[in-house]
Structure 1
Amino acid sequence: MKALWIKIVLLAVALPGVWGNVAAQVTISADFDTGSIGSVRRIDSVRMLHAAKNSLEVMSFGIRSRIDPLNPVDTALLPSSRWFHFRLEGVKGKLMFLHIPNTEMVRPFYSYDGEEYLRFDAGECSLPQTVYKYFLHDTVYVAYFLPYSHARHKAKADEWACSPFVRRQRIGRSGEGRPIEMLILTDATVPDSLKRRVWIHSRVHTSEAPAAWYLEAMIDELLSDAPLSREILRRTVFYVVPETNPDGVRGGYSRSTAQGVNLEINWDRPDSLTQPEVRVLKRTIDSLSTERPFDVALNLHSQSAPFVTYWIHTAKSTSAKMYRRKMLLSALTVAHTPYYRPIDQRFSEAAPRYAEGWFWQRFGERTLAVTFETPYTYYNNDPAGEWVSRESLAELAHASLLALSDLLDLGGSERRQADSERMKARGKWLRRTAKDRQFFGGSYLVAERKGASVSFVFPDVAEGRYEVFKWIPGPLDKKFAREENRWQPIGEVVQEQAGRLVWRYQAAAPGDVLDVILLVPKSER
């Protein structure tokens, strides 16, 4: 593009008289759901003669994304200006340069109909903080990321509410009076008292649309006919608040409510400064936890850093047991997706101003509360690799469900686990509880000699072919190799008729490590 820009400038010098103000009117607006724009300044509008009878209209605009309102609660916090989403009209057949300097945009999105969005090509983003494109239609929408509107939240909630596995509840209202809704996902034919309980909330920071697409894919999968989804819902109750900050979503704010408050750090404020949205979540969580707290609480976000991450709280600020559980969830996620690596893990102290710190103070080790972040741009800090899209976010959501299923043993007949702690061992095995390894339960086994065996018993297994995996306990560390902390395939077995299945594991050598065995139907892997 630099060559094109130089060419345009040279033509202006060499062909005086071919430049002039472009008569056609271009308008820029943001008066729609999730729309957001700050100021607009026309830098230039010219007509370039590039053939005997043809000319090219070139227009450039300086656009500043809107800054969130000043935060009346945390006055030292600088407001964000990340999100933009605006509509251009009158641009058909024009080469448009859009300079947006006050946001860290990387290959944003455009759409001709406000529904189907595409990323700008890398070549169209080669100038600093600028996108440029020759548009083929008169109306174009431009957004920081693929928008997820307030209207879509409502439409998907309407769709999901038609499922027999969903109950829909209005749990409160936002600062501007919009409903805040919770979806309860489970198989109602199984008593809730027998199930695990998972809390999920999203869209606290309203510009973080990737997390909304990720959650949509997760819910869609849970409500699908997939056998694993049915097994998970038989064993789990999910309490999901997809749109915590509906005012911010509808109004197109970046990280705040319409009043300027960052809800993410509003959990430890006195009642007079606690926002309605946070009060709704706290009240709902407390009311649902009177008899039994949640097993897992996920706080979904998106970040400008180009990688996926969990924010894992240190053992010092929580406990060694909680740290180990969070690290295991993280390792299981790494094991199921190429989009998340050990080096992408992030660590912080649990602070009560965040939801996770509030959960820790209230419920301690009984609830694993953690923030999960998707990127906006690309994965693995690699711009030459996979870029974030609806499809890749759906793959990531699938991996997260597998990780959650493995952590809480929710897979039923689709992902059967057997722990070596509860199985009969023969030969010489040493039971280990090393504090520097990641494993299920309270211990794992290490063989003292080759041929030492353990018989794993799986009751009520349907006939069919199964793959068998074992978990490889790796370092409890910020970094570990892909060969560690993962499910390693160790064989296949054919169940000739329904009933008990016994898998006998034999140590291949002294030092062989054995923790949990996983049985997966061959066709479902």
Structure 2
Amino acid sequence: MKISSHFDAGSIEVVQFDDFSDIQLKIRQDNAASFAQWFYFRLQGAAYQPCTLRFLNAGECAYPQGWQDYQAMASYDRVNWFRVPTTYDGQTLTIEHVPLAGSVYYAYFEPYSYEQHLNLIGQAQSSGLCDVSSLGSTIEDRDIDLLTIGHEVESDLKIWIIARQHPGETMAEWFVEGLLNRLLDPQDPTSRLLLDSATFYIVPNMNPDGAIHGNLRTNAAGANLNREWNAPSADKSPEVLAVRQKMLETGVDLFLDIHGDEALPYVFTAGSEGVPSYDERIARLETLFKEQLQLACPDFQDEIGYPKQEKGQAELTWATAWVAEQFRCLAFTLEMPFKDNANLPDDDFGWNGQRSLRMGEAALSPILAVLRHLR
């Protein structure tokens, strides 16, 4: 029997693995920070053996409430992922599974590899509708990729979408893939109408270093990028610094920051009601956007989410708050679950890459609905 994680986004610590019925593991912290929740590893040599895998430090992780009603994901080919029986006793997370092949992968959520990211960039460029550019470099000198789709004329509305500030929230890049599939389809009428009057600026992966390290929440320097927006620095958060500078050049009329939530089993948004400039115009836009998103994709709901902040209480270090205040625009954080959507559960797959992709496709409909009201 062998356990390995020396691959893109791989992450695990092995304590003991000499007994199929008592494989002991620990979830590794981010490379330069104390956050721990993401795991992704390969188990070999256990075909047809009843395996019990125990994560001994699950109760000490960043979001222990995230393990309640959670089911881990597994795959034999890293393409088709499914849920496996998982329990949590308040300290130890336990997977019980009989692998049907000699090699099986387990992960916190369906991964989105750096190779997939590069393929996504290449496919978008090949559409002929998309310009690919680099905004700068990460701590470890990887490209911060920007996709620009539209005419880039001054009269265009400027739609900004970013994903994976928190690298372990891989559902965010699945979302972007779905959105791009639809936006770059010349036969899609919604896409055609949008691109008649809007330019899209899309950063599919804000944190490629953290993604490759197998981090949950931080970049290679240990920075939580979604706490850096008020004062980013070249040595700690160059990713935010580069994206923010480009936003200041282009302007922003609508902003979406795509995330995943460990604890809540729902798809929901968090708005900008806590920023000083929040007003009735933005409130009406928020309501229209959410109503149209719910019509476009019933996986979305607006009853359960984060508590709303009082006006003036928002942390401007967060992307949505900083953008909303800086540009006086409609801005949302969109959250998808690591678990399942409790409103539309799927016992085999839970929430996964494909459902995130479909949510990304659906998101173009509410963008179109609010477009003419943005200015």
TM bucket normalised to smaller: 0.7 to 0.9
Whole-angstrom distance in 1 between the partners of 2:356 and 2:50: 32
Post-superposition shift, 1:239?
0.4
Aligned length: 355
- Residue 297 of structure 2 aligns with which residue? 337
| Equivalent residue in structure 1 for 2:140, among 167, 173, 176 | 176
Post-superposition shift, 1:70?
5.0
Query: Which has more radius of gyration?
Result: 1
- Residue 249 of structure 2 aligns with which residue? 287
Partner deviation per Cα, 1:125-167 (whole Å, 9 max, x = no partner): 2564211111121111110111001111011111111111100
Unaligned residue ranges in structure 1 (runs of 5+): 1-25, 46-57, 72-78, 410-439, 443-525
Q: Where does structure 1 differ by over 6 angstroms across 4 or more consecutive aligned residues?
A: none
User: Per residue, is there more strand in 1 or in 2?
Assistant: 1
Aligned pairs (5 A) from 1:438-449: none
Whole-angstrom distance in 2 between the partners of 1:315 and 1:66: 34
**2:174·2:354 contact (CA, 8 Å) conserved in 1?**
no
Post-superposition shift, 1:68?
1.7
Whole-angstrom distance in 2 between the partners of 1:390 and 1:339: 14
Q: Secondary structure at the match of 2:320?
A: helix
Greater shift, 298-307 or 124-133, is seen at 124-133
Change (3 A) 1:311 1:273: farther
**1:41·1:61 contact (CA, 8 Å) conserved in 2?**
yes
Whole-angstrom distance in 1 between the partners of 2:232 and 2:22: 48
Change (3 A) 1:207 1:389: same
**2:38·2:168 contact (CA, 8 Å) conserved in 1?**
yes
Post-superposition shift, 1:183?
0.4
- Residue 322 of structure 2 aligns with which residue? 358
Whole-angstrom distance in 2 between the partners of 1:353 and 1:316: 11
Whole-angstrom distance in 2 between the partners of 1:384 and 1:282: 38
- Residue 125 of structure 2 aligns with which residue? 161
Aligned pairs (5 A) from 1:410-429: none
Post-superposition shift, 1:233?
1.8
Whole-angstrom distance in 2 between the partners of 1:322 and 1:127: 41
Post-superposition shift, 1:350?
2.6
Whole-angstrom distance in 1 between the partners of 2:232 and 2:358: 40
Give the partner amino acid of 1:302.
G
- Residue 510 of structure 1 aligns with which residue? none
- Residue 212 of structure 1 aligns with which residue? 173
Whole-angstrom distance in 2 between the partners of 1:82 and 1:322: 35
Aligned pairs (5 A) from 1:297-312: 297-304=255-262, 305-312=264-271
| Equivalent residue in structure 2 for 1:401, among 355, 358, 364 | 364
Partner deviation per Cα, 1:368-398 (whole Å, 9 max, x = no partner): 2221111122224665789313332233223
Unaligned residue ranges in structure 2 (runs of 5+): none
| Equivalent residue in structure 2 for 1:151, among 105, 115, 140 | 115
- Residue 182 of structure 2 aligns with which residue? 221
**1:306·1:382 contact (CA, 8 Å) conserved in 2?**
no
Post-superposition shift, 1:274?
4.7
Change (3 A) 1:323 1:38: farther
Q: Please state if 1:246 is matched with 2:208.
A: yes
Q: Please state if 1:134 is matched with 2:95.
A: no
Aligned pairs (5 A) from 1:382-401: 387-401=350-364
Q: Secondary structure at the match of 1:94?
A: coil
Change (3 A) 1:267 1:96: same
Task: Name the Cα RMSD after superposition.
Answer: 2.4
Aligned pairs (5 A) from 1:115-134: 115-120=79-84, 124-126=85-87, 128=89, 129-134=93-98
Give the partner amino acid of 1:125.
T
Identity fraction in percent: 26
Greater relative contact order (Cα < 8 A, sep 6+): 2
